[in-house]
Structure 1
Amino acid sequence: MSRFSRSDFTLESFRRQLANVDALPQLCVLGMVSGVITGALMVGFRLLLDWGANVYMPEGNPEAFEGLAPWFRALLPIVTVILIGVLLWRQKPTARKLGVSHVIERLTYHQGRFPLRNWLNQWWVGVVSVLGGLSAGREGPAIHLGAAAASGLGQQLRLPHNSLRVLVACGTAAGISASFNTPLAGVIFAMEVVMMEYTLMSFMPVMLASTMGALVAQLVYGSEAAFPVPDVSLGSLINLPWVVLMGLMIGLLAGAFIHVSRTPRITRLPLWLRLALVGVVTGGVALWYPQVQGIGYDSLAAALNGQLSVDVLLALIIAKLLLTALTVASGIPIGIIGPVLVVGAASGALSGLLGGLVWPEIASEVGVYAMLGMAAMMAAVLQAPLAALMALLELTHNPTIMLPGMLAVVVACLTSRQLAGCEGFFISSTRYGRHPLQQPLMQALSRVSVPAVMERSVERTTRMLSPEEARRLLESNPVWLVIERSTEDKPVLALKAAELARWMIDHEDAPDHYEGLNADGLIDLLEIPGERLEMAPIGLQATLSEAFIALQNDALGALYVVHGHRPKQKRISGIITRDAIERYYRYTDTGPTG
């Protein structure tokens, strides 16, 4: 006898399997597909940058602002903010939310569903901000484009919302992986910064997505990293105290960046003044130091090789940091990861130069400190130490740098968090010291959709029914009866079928046969003894966290799960109660029902 039937391979069966917490094979398939899609999108985004650079950048290089005439590169940011202001601020405020912060918001409050308009805006805003000379990166757009595309795949297939969360992480990891050619760092970034949790069921699909994203990018651009990295080693352990001091300085810089980017003094200014401030200040600095414009990977590579002068390093540390923070505070949606890496590398390189003056015989090469500074700055700004360390390892291919790397990262993270009082850059709201995605109960409930625990044995009925209709209703042995009301403004109620069965048994033996019938000879389900639960609808794709919030907010007794997309064709698939949710997260020996 065949082990599988044709029904096991239908889309409906695929959706039912994904509703459970242990749908690992199905999630892995989705991870691979989303990784390929995201990798292709990242190639497309980079091609757009290259095509745009061919219009006016020297040799078609998106980073070659130094080769432009001073007046032209100073004018570029002003034109860019005007373009973004005219095209983006004419749209609704919700359509102007882009980048990693938008991804986390949609994952936290919208179960990983993304609006199409924001996704389309991300394409042109990402290209214009980088090529227009603002201090902006391409990783934020890459994460948004990848996460939204992967989630869109799930939405098109009408998959449960718990799988959409994993797809968002898959798109995020593949976006980072395709941008830096660092698949492992992409996985850790997705879990540490976006999902804010580590689970086996998420890790494996995300790893596959990150691998496929890197593979697609390597087929087009080769296996080289986003920027060349020299061979580095720490040398003497006497350098470690200097690494600690460097981590302390970078932690303070990271705290300054976060505080400036969130300062209310800038956000309260009129829009035209904020945009003008960004354009004019960026253009003014670019007259003398064009290295502050764009992503800055060329400057980062030069810092790693010790090829930048002290004044340029100071310009990158101070001016690029403040320009990036000012742009963010003004409401312009840019990617910050690339500029943050450049600032960190410049800070590390300057520390290396100072160390060489203090201990010329013992001090390590400037490139060592630049690499450590890059990782420390990324970790301190994002509060993502593991992602930064994995990026450091994959970029250097040198495990010996992990010891000083861990020291620099920990010191920088602690300094930013404790001395500067900063949470991670993308954590904008907390409750009881935790972001909503970090709350253990909501994390557990978000991993499962309602079909996994709902009671499917239900029958719909009207309020009034004859004894014969009641007997036919009970023949299928339902657990719940869904009582439909005469008007839509009245709430739908649920009654245990056992209550009706008990009532009928009690009254069949009564002297007056069914003495509880009304004047029309009908049973009134609102009058027989028994507890009736007031219910509200919830979609079949919803997670247990959505059900939990609905039951808490509306003080309902239960929810009825509706299936179908056309209003007149919707049907009730089951009922989910508070007790069912409690049984799931308490995990009794029998496990969740369904």
Structure 2
Amino acid sequence: MPRLPLPRYNLDRFRRQLASVDALPQLCVLGVVSGLITGGLMVVFRLLLALGALVFLPGGNPEAFEGLAPAARALLPLLAVALIGLWLWRQPVAGRQIGVAHVISRLTYHQGRFPLRNWLTQWWVGLISVLGGLSAGREGPAIHLGAAASSGLGQRLRLPHNSLRVLVACGTAAGISASFNTPIAGVIFAMEVVMMEYTITGFMPVILASTMGAVVAQAVFGFERPFQETGVALGSLFNLPWIVVSALAIGLLAGLFVRLARSGVRLDALPLAARFALAGSLVGVVAWWYPQVQGMGYDTLGLTLAGELSLDVLLAVAIGKLLLTAGAVACGIPVSIIGPILVAGGAAGALCGLLGAQLMPSLAAGPEVYAMLGMAAMMGAVLQAPLAALMALLELTHNPNLILPGMLAVVVAGLTARQLCGCDGFFISVTRHGLHPLQQPLMQALSRVSVPAVMERDLVRTRRRVTREQASALLEAKPIWVVIERSSDDKPALALKAADLARWMLEHDDDDKIGKDGKLDLLEIPGQRLDMAPIHLQATLSEAFTRLNDKAVDALYVEHGHRPKQKRISGIITRDAIERYYRYSDTPPA
């Protein structure tokens, strides 16, 4: 019985498929793998936190700073900043960049490629900052570690850069999902804060990655519901005006946080050791009386939602933790800010709820309602990510009753921080015409596809001078372009239309244009010639567009291979081909 032929799958074909804008099945496969890898990394990170807590924290709880003696918890941040500072001091300036801002920067300017040195730094700083009692969360490490590991998979397989972008989003979503069991919030955060765009091609792989990350975490730690408050409801619509006032106040606090965190330029005159000592000392002083400001603070947030914290502790968390986190960032300590702002926002919301109960004793909802709304409002205002904040509110509380007031609170707080305080999203530092480079519509569209999807492959390579027989042999392959290689690397390669060479061959059947050596000079042939610069096969159209402008050339030749002496030209991409793609023309590349 004859055997049925099986479809051939190989890595080169997989790469070619990924270069296209509609490579959804291939990206979904990568999303699943990315989620599994990131989920495993987050399990390791959480286990390392638990292992470190076993050494000196009561019950092996990474958040049990309240159980330490006042002197111990006050000195602990100083030890933490010393360990972090010693590590960072041995790194170059570029090697100190970690966290969400680093992920966005690498996606914006480096096509989603991450240095290993920064990845290792994130492990050290992430563990020490949380265990050392600084006001820090584990969200930044989760996002950086997951995004870099997922991108590293793509780099290892030499996948085109348009797929690296999606892998970064997959790692981001899976990291959040595996850390907090919030798969939907992970997806929205990845698309809204990191990718800054929404596409079907991006959503589906990211959803799969987030799902796999949650599955891995649940397989190890079980199904966790940190703040299950299903019985809490708004009660009366008369609370809505006070929710607006509360959100306005939280938006002002968010603006203060962003302004203070970005004031680090003024502290650059101080030595690194002095800045780190200042940040550690401030945390230590506050922690002597209020250890709730230390660490991630999710235990404190749980007590806030349960209404078990006193007024002075709520004030210390709402103001102290917020300012201590911003101060650490301003002093150059790369701590994660998402967890602390959630905790501080919850405390600020609870304070607003207590005040509302005094003003409207018969109508006001409980402080726990305002605490949950404050948590989402603070996150949405600081990050300028309203959907991510709403999804975090829903998944952390498992309470759909709060979505309606949550939408109002998030929008009011976000508008307050943006319009009254002039604050963009915390992680958006560079804008042009009000838009981050990742938000530019043209670059977004061109980043979704790589050059192999639109490059012209019908070409031949030759030296400048050839015989008539050699020229005829070149044309037998029916190329569209003839790539003319130059005698030295400092001279740009040229592309000649094969039709122009064929026309000249037909019109000149004599030898009057041939030199004494019996060869014709292709640079003397009348016709369209394009100056070219090289670009690698993995590049996106946005990279090609930028390189065309930077080199001031008309076309690029696409190199394939990694060894300098073994590189070959795979195709040509012209400016017209990029413009046709962007305009969704059906005309094939010329």
> TM-score with structure 2 length normalisation?
0.98
What does residue 257 of structure 1 align with?
257
Q: 1: distance between equivalents of 2:538 and 2:492?
A: 22
What does residue 187 of structure 1 align with?
187
Q: Kindly state the Cα deviation for residue 366 of structure 1 after the two structures are TM-superposed.
A: 1.3
* 8 Å CA contact 2:228, 2:399 repeated in 1: no
* 8 Å CA contact 1:179, 1:226 repeated in 2: no
Deviations, residues 130-185 of structure 1 (Å, cap 9, x unaligned):
00011000000000000000100111111000000000000000111111211111
> Unaligned stretches of 5+ in structure 2?
none
Q: 1: distance between equivalents of 2:504 and 2:26?
A: 46
2:144 counterpart of 1:147: no
Q: Kindly state the Cα deviation for residue 394 of structure 1 after the two structures are TM-superposed.
A: 1.8
Q: 2: distance between equivalents of 1:422 and 1:211?
A: 33
User: Structure 1: which amino acid aligns with 2:569?
Assistant: I
Q: 2: distance between equivalents of 1:559 and 1:40?
A: 41
What does residue 377 of structure 1 align with?
378
Q: Kindly state the Cα deviation for residue 63 of structure 1 after the two structures are TM-superposed.
A: 0.3
User: Structure 2: which amino acid aligns with 1:585?
Assistant: Y
2:513 counterpart of 1:550: no
Q: 1: distance between equivalents of 2:132 and 2:568?
A: 52
User: Structure 2: which amino acid aligns with 1:126?
Assistant: G
* 8 Å CA contact 1:97, 1:118 repeated in 2: yes
* 8 Å CA contact 2:33, 2:209 repeated in 1: yes
User: Structure 2: which amino acid aligns with 1:557?
Assistant: D
Aligned positions of 1:141-540 closer than 5 A? 141-229=141-229, 231-263=231-263, 264-508=265-509, 513-540=510-537
* 8 Å CA contact 2:239, 2:363 repeated in 1: yes
Q: 1: distance between equivalents of 2:430 and 2:56?
A: 42
What does residue 73 of structure 1 align with?
73
What does residue 126 of structure 1 align with?
126
2:48 counterpart of 1:51: no
Q: 2: distance between equivalents of 1:4 and 1:105?
A: 46
> Unaligned stretches of 5+ in structure 1?
none
RMSD value, Cα:
1.4
Q: 1: distance between equivalents of 2:444 and 2:413?
A: 28
Task: Quickly say closer, same or farther: Cα 1:4–1:284, change in 2 above 3 A.
Answer: farther
* 8 Å CA contact 1:35, 1:209 repeated in 2: yes
Secondary structure of the equivalent of 2:508?
Answer: helix
* 8 Å CA contact 1:178, 1:216 repeated in 2: yes
Q: 2: distance between equivalents of 1:563 and 1:226?
A: 50
Secondary structure of the equivalent of 1:533?
Answer: strand
Q: Which consecutive aligned stretches of 4+ in structure 1 deviate over 6 angstroms post-superposition?
A: 1-4
Deviations, residues 49-72 of structure 1 (Å, cap 9, x unaligned):
000000000110000101001111
Q: 1: distance between equivalents of 2:319 and 2:330?
A: 16
Moved more, 396-405 or 72-81: 396-405
Q: Kindly state the Cα deviation for residue 527 of structure 1 after the two structures are TM-superposed.
A: 1.2
Q: 2: distance between equivalents of 1:319 and 1:565?
A: 53
Deviations, residues 231-289 of structure 1 (Å, cap 9, x unaligned):
31100111111110110001000000000001132233221221111011111111111
2:59 counterpart of 1:62: no
* 8 Å CA contact 1:122, 1:144 repeated in 2: yes
Aligned positions of 1:13-24 closer than 5 A? 13-24=13-24
Q: Kindly state the Cα deviation for residue 398 of structure 1 after the two structures are TM-superposed.
A: 2.4
Q: 1: distance between equivalents of 2:226 and 2:439?
A: 31
Q: Kindly state the Cα deviation for residue 520 of structure 1 after the two structures are TM-superposed.
A: 1.1
Q: 2: distance between equivalents of 1:42 and 1:262?
A: 29
Q: 1: distance between equivalents of 2:251 and 2:3?
A: 61
Q: 2: distance between equivalents of 1:87 and 1:231?
A: 47
Secondary structure of the equivalent of 1:482?
Answer: strand
* 8 Å CA contact 2:229, 2:398 repeated in 1: no
Secondary structure of the equivalent of 2:91?
Answer: coil
* 8 Å CA contact 2:230, 2:398 repeated in 1: no
Which of the numbers 533, 538, 542 marks the counterpart of 1:541? Answer: 538
Moved more, 158-167 or 562-571: 562-571
* 8 Å CA contact 1:227, 1:297 repeated in 2: no
Deviations, residues 508-554 of structure 1 (Å, cap 9, x unaligned):
1xxxx131111211010111112321111111000000000000111
Secondary structure of the equivalent of 2:523?
Answer: coil
Deviations, residues 547-574 of structure 1 (Å, cap 9, x unaligned):
0000011111111001111111111000
* 8 Å CA contact 2:492, 2:533 repeated in 1: yes
Q: 1: distance between equivalents of 2:538 and 2:363?
A: 61
Moved more, 355-364 or 384-393: 355-364
* 8 Å CA contact 1:77, 1:280 repeated in 2: yes
Task: Quickly say closer, same or farther: Cα 1:45–1:489, change in 2 above 3 A.
Answer: same
Q: 1: distance between equivalents of 2:490 and 2:3?
A: 50
* 8 Å CA contact 1:229, 1:301 repeated in 2: no
* 8 Å CA contact 1:230, 1:305 repeated in 2: no
Task: Quickly say closer, same or farther: Cα 1:123–1:4, change in 2 above 3 A.
Answer: farther
Secondary structure of the equivalent of 1:526?
Answer: helix
Deviations, residues 369-398 of structure 1 (Å, cap 9, x unaligned):
110000000000000000111111122222
Q: 2: distance between equivalents of 1:327 and 1:427?
A: 18
Percent pairwise identity: 71
Q: Alignment length, in residue pairs?
A: 588
* 8 Å CA contact 2:228, 2:398 repeated in 1: no
Secondary structure of the equivalent of 1:427?
Answer: coil
User: Structure 2: which amino acid aligns with 1:584?
Assistant: Y
Q: Kindly state the Cα deviation for residue 487 of structure 1 after the two structures are TM-superposed.
A: 1.4
Task: Quickly say closer, same or farther: Cα 1:103–1:449, change in 2 above 3 A.
Answer: same
User: Structure 2: which amino acid aligns with 1:372?
Assistant: L
Q: 2: distance between equivalents of 1:477 and 1:3?
A: 35
User: Structure 2: which amino acid aligns with 1:20?
Assistant: S
* 8 Å CA contact 2:226, 2:302 repeated in 1: no
Q: 2: distance between equivalents of 1:251 and 1:96?
A: 30
Task: Quickly say closer, same or farther: Cα 1:587–1:104, change in 2 above 3 A.
Answer: same
2:566 counterpart of 1:569: yes
Q: 2: distance between equivalents of 1:139 and 1:400?
A: 26
Q: Kindly state the Cα deviation for residue 222 of structure 1 after the two structures are TM-superposed.
A: 1.4
Task: Quickly say closer, same or farther: Cα 1:27–1:382, change in 2 above 3 A.
Answer: same
Q: Kindly state the Cα deviation for residue 589 of structure 1 after the two structures are TM-superposed.
A: 3.4
Task: Quickly say closer, same or farther: Cα 1:428–1:524, change in 2 above 3 A.
Answer: same
Q: Kindly state the Cα deviation for residue 2 of structure 1 after the two structures are TM-superposed.
A: 10
* 8 Å CA contact 1:230, 1:304 repeated in 2: no
Secondary structure of the equivalent of 2:530?
Answer: strand
Deviations, residues 6-30 of structure 1 (Å, cap 9, x unaligned):
43x1111100000000000000000
Q: 1: distance between equivalents of 2:434 and 2:469?
A: 58
